[in-house]
A and B are shown apart, each in its own frame.
Chain A
Amino acid sequence: MIRRITIIALSLLVALPAVAHRRDSLSSVQRAAAADDALSGISRAAYDASIAASAYRRQVNISTLAGVFDLRREEQAMVQEEGDGLTLGKLRADSYMHLKKRSTVEAEASYRRGVKRNVCWNSSSDYTLLYPHIGADSIGGNLTTEQYGFGGSYAHRGERVTYGIGASYRALHEFRKVDPRPRNITSDVKAQVACGYNFKRYMLGASAAARIYNQQHSVDYYNIKGSNTSQIPMTGLGTYYERFAGASSGFLNYEFKGFGYSASVQFVPLDGNGLRLMADYTALNIRRLLPDFNNTMMTRLRTECFSGSISYATTSGRVRWAVGGDFFYEIRRGDENVLNISSLSSDMVLATFTMYEGHTIDATLTGGVEWLHDWGYLFVRPRVGILNMSAGYRYPERRLDAMIVEGGADIGARYQAKKWLVDISAGGGYAAALSNTLFLSTSAEKEIKSAVQRQWQGFVANRLLINAAVSVQRAINYRTSIYLAGVWQMYSRQMGDGHTLSAEIGIKF
C-alpha cells in the first residue's frame, strides 16, 4: 500500500511543476544556480524553521528527481549503535514552486532501502532520537532498513501577512533475518502552522508544530539458546532495566509512543539579503511501554531543545558574503518507573525517578565569501565550532563530560555557462577534545563497560576531516537538465579511518 502511495506521490511531484513552468523565464541551469550556492547553507535555519519563512527562501521554482547511492565504511564505528557501515539506495523527488504570484508550494517524497553493517548494542530504530532508552543486545549484526517519506506545505504570501500550513509523514521498517531478529515499525507524523507579518523588507514570523511518534519494537529468535544473547532495555551510560532483560516472551517487545511540540520565531529578509534570526523551542516525550505487561510504562524520555540562529548575508555585488552563528542546546532526561509486582496490585507504577540527564551544547560560527566572475565564482567558507556534552546516571553513579572544538574550511568554484553548471569544492578540518571525563562505577558489567569505554574513546579522539564534492549539471532543453553529483568525506583518527560517499544522478526542472 505504502509503495503505491510512494509511486503516486512521486508521479504527482514530477507532474506538478508543469503548472509552474509557464511562468518560468529562467532556464533550468539558471534556476538551479539561483536556488543554491556556496553561501545558501549558511544559517538557512531561519528559513527552514517555518513554512511562512520558507516561502521567501528562493525566488525561483526548482524541482528535482534523483537517484542516490550512499556508502559508509568505518574501521571502528563512530557510533556502534548505528553500525560501522551503510549501503543505501534512495529515490527522491522534491519541488519548490511559486504556483501563483502569492502561493508557494513545497513537496517531497522519498523511498530508501539499504543495509546498516554490524550494528551492535542497539536493536531499536531511530537511535539518535531514542538514546539512551533503546533496546540492545551484545551480538548485533547487519540491519536492513527501508523508509518511505512524504511531505508537503502550502504558504500564502499576502500584502502584509503570510501564512502557511504543512505536514510530513515518515514510515520506517528495520529488520534482521538472523538471530537476534529485531523488527521495528515506525511512523512519524509532523504538522506545522506558521504565520508572518511583513514590514519594510523583512518578515517577522512565528510557527507552531506538533509531532506524533510511534515505534513497535519487537525481537524474535529462531533459537533462543543458540543465540547466546538477550534483549536489554538500556537506560543510560551502560545501565539497564534488569527486570525486563532476557530472551523469553514478555521481555522482547516495546512500544515507543511519543508526542512533541515546538514553537519558533523567525526574522528573515524577503529577498534573502540582510539579517536573519531564529529561535526555536522543541519538546518531545517518548514513553517506552511493555505491550506484554499490560502496556505498563517502563521508562520515559523527555527531550528539550533550544536552538537559535543569527546570520547576515548579502546577495548583490561582485563580492557576496555571509556570516552566521548557530546554537543548539539539548537536554535529555530519562525517567524510570519503579514497577510493582503484578501479583501484588494492578496499580503497577509505584514511583518515578529521573535517573539519566544529558546536556549537549553545539555552537558553530560559519562564514563565506564568493568572488563573482563572468564564468561563475570562487568561494571560501571557514567554520569553527564547539561541542560540549555531559551526561550522568544517578545511581550507581556514572558520568561523562567532553568538550570538543572543530575548525576547518572549504574552498571551491562554480562554473556557469548557458548549458552547464559545474560546482567543485574541497575542504578539511580538525577536531580535538579539550577535555574529557568518563566515570563508570565499579558495579558496571565488564562487557557493557568496555563497550561504553570503546565508544567514548572513539568519540573524543582527535580527528582529521577531509571532504570533496563535485556536481555537474547539463541542460537537455530549456526547462530541464540532467545532473551528476558526488560527495566524499573521510575522517582519520587513532583507532581507524571512516569514509562516506554519496553519489547522485537526477534531473532538475
Chain B
Amino acid sequence: MRVLRYILCLVVLLALGSCERDYDNQELMSQVRFVLELPDSDGDGVADTCESAISMESSYISEYNTRENYIFGVFRNNTSSVRLRKGIYTLMLDATIYFEDGTIKAARNTEYAQPNTALKILNDKEEVRLKMTYLY
C-alpha cells in the first residue's frame, strides 16, 4: 500500500505542477505614448502646442510580423497614448494641426515608415517622439 501512496502522490504532484497559467496580457502589451515634436514655427524658442486631427487615409501603425494595424488616437497637448502588442512597427503620421490662435497646418512624420527604420516596441511602457515636418 505504501507503493500505491507514493504513486498517487506523484500523480497529484504532477497534476498540480501543470495547473493552467493565467496569462497577463500586460506582459504582451505595451502602453506607448507618442509625443509630437513640432518645429518652432514662430521662432519664439518654444515648441508649438496643439491639438491634432489624424488623417485616417494615410496614417498607420503596423506590426511588421503580424501585419496587425492600429490607429493613432487624438493628440492633446502634443501627446497621444496607444496600447500596442509588443513587436516591431512601421508607422506614418499625417496630421492636421489646430493651434490656439486658430491657424491650421498639415504635418507629417515618416521617420519609421520603412522596414529598415522600423521601431521596436518591447517594454511595458514606451515613449516615442515623432519629429513632425510641416507640409504647408
* A241 → chain B closest CB, angstroms: 7
Count of A residues near B, CB < 8 Å? 31
Residues of B within 8 A of A267 (CB): 3-4, 7
By a CB distance below 8 angstroms, the chain B residues around A329 are 15, 18
Return the contact of B11 from the options A243, A279, A339 (Cβ within 8 A).
A279
A277 beta carbon closer than 8 Å to chain B? yes
Known pairs A241-B65, A281-B14, A329-B15; A350 contacts B7 (CB<8 A): no
Within 8 A of B (CB), among A428-447: 443
A355–B27 alpha-carbon span in the complex (Å): 11
For residues 306 through 348 of chain A, which have their beta carbon under 8 Å from a beta carbon of chain B? 306, 308, 329, 331, 338-341, 343-344
A174 at the interface (CB under 8 A from B): no
B15 smallest CB distance to A (angstroms): 6
By beta carbon, the residue of chain B nearest A339 is: B65
Interface residues on B, range: 20 to 34
Q: Residues of B contacting A355 with CB < 8 Å? A: 28
Q: Is the CB of B10 within 8 A of A343?
A: no
A357 is an interface residue with CB less than 8 A from chain B: yes
* Interchain CA distance A343-B114 in the complex, whole Å: 11
A94 part of interface (Cβ distance < 8 Å) = no
What are the interface flags for B65-85 relative to A under an 8 Å C-beta threshold, 1 for contact and 0 otherwise?
Answer: 111100000000000000001
> Which residue on B lies nearest to A243, using beta carbons?
B65
C-alpha gap A243/B62 in the complex (Å):
11
Is B58 an interface residue, CB under 8 A from the partner? no
Q: Are A357 and B21 in contact (CB under 8 A)?
A: yes
List, in ascending order, chain A residues with CB within 8 A of B18's CB: 304, 306, 329, 331
- Asked whether any CB of chain A lies closer than 8 Å to the CB of B116, the reply is yes
User: When the two chains form their complex, are residues B116 and A279 in contact, meaning their CB atoms are under 8 A apart?
Assistant: no
Q: A281-B14, A353-B28, A395-B25 are in contact. Are A204 and B65 (CB under 8 A)?
A: no
- The answer to whether residues A351 and B86 also contact, given A279-B7, A279-B11, A306-B15 and a CB cut-off of 8 A, is yes
Report A498 CB to chain B, min CB distance, Å. 32
User: A130 contacts the other chain (Cβ, under 8 Å)?
Assistant: no
For B39, what are the chain A residues with a Cβ–Cβ distance below 8 Å? none
Q: Is A87 an interface residue, CB under 8 A from the partner?
A: no
Q: Give chain B residues whose Cβ lies under 8 Å from the Cβ of A75.
A: none
Residues A277 and B7 in contact in the complex (CB < 8 Å), given A343-B115, A350-B122, A353-B28: yes
A394 at the interface (CB under 8 A from B): yes
Are the CB atoms of B29 and A242 closer together than 8 Å?
no
Nearest B-chain residue to A327, judged by Cβ:
B11
Interface residues in B8-35 (C-beta closer than 8 Å to A): 10-11, 14-15, 18, 20-21, 23, 25, 27-29
- Give CA–CA (A267, B67) in the complex, Å: 53
CB within 8 Å for A308 and B122 given contacts A341-B64, A351-B86, A353-B28:
no
| Residue of B with least CB distance to A396 | B68
Q: Does A359 contact B (CB under 8 A)?
A: yes
Residue in contact with B23 in the complex, picked from A306, A343, A351, A354, CB distance below 8 Å: A354
- Of chain B, the residue at the smallest CB distance from A337 is B65
- A-B complex: 6 closest residue pairs judged by Cβ atoms: A242-B67, A243-B65, A343-B116, A341-B115, A279-B11, A338-B87
| 14 interchain pairs, CB-CB under 8 A | A242-B67, A265-B7, A267-B7, A277-B4, A306-B11, A306-B15, A331-B18, A340-B120, A341-B64, A350-B88, A353-B27, A354-B23, A355-B28, A396-B68
A-side residues, CB < 8 A to B, are 204, 241-243, 265, 267, 277, 279, 281, 304, 306, 308, 329, 331, 338-341, 343-344, 350-351, 353-355, 357, 359, 394-396, 443
- Please report B residues at the A interface, Cβ cutoff 8 Å: 3-4, 7, 10-11, 14-15, 18, 20-21, 23, 25, 27-29, 64-68, 85-88, 115-116, 118, 120, 122
Given contacts A344-B118, A394-B28, 20 further A-B pairs with CB under 8 A are: A241-B65, A267-B3, A277-B4, A279-B14, A306-B15, A308-B11, A329-B15, A331-B18, A338-B86, A338-B87, A338-B88, A340-B88, A340-B120, A341-B116, A351-B122, A353-B27, A357-B20, A357-B21, A357-B23, A443-B68
